[in-house]
Amino acid sequence: MTIDEASERYGIPLEILHEYESWGLCGTVKKVMGAWQYDDEDIERLSMIMTLHDVGFENHEVENYMQLLLEGETTKEQRMAMLNRRRKSALDEIHFREAQLDRLDYLRHSIRSANKKQRES
How far apart (Å, rounded) are the C-alpha atoms in residues 31 and 10?
20
3-state SS, residue 13: coil
pTM: 0.72
- What architecture is domain 1-71? Orthogonal Bundle (1.10)
pLDDT tens digits, 80-91: 999 999 999 999
What average pLDDT does range 113-120 have in this prediction? Answer: 88
Contact 54, 62 (CB under 8 A): no
Whether 48 contacts 41, CB under 8 Å:
no
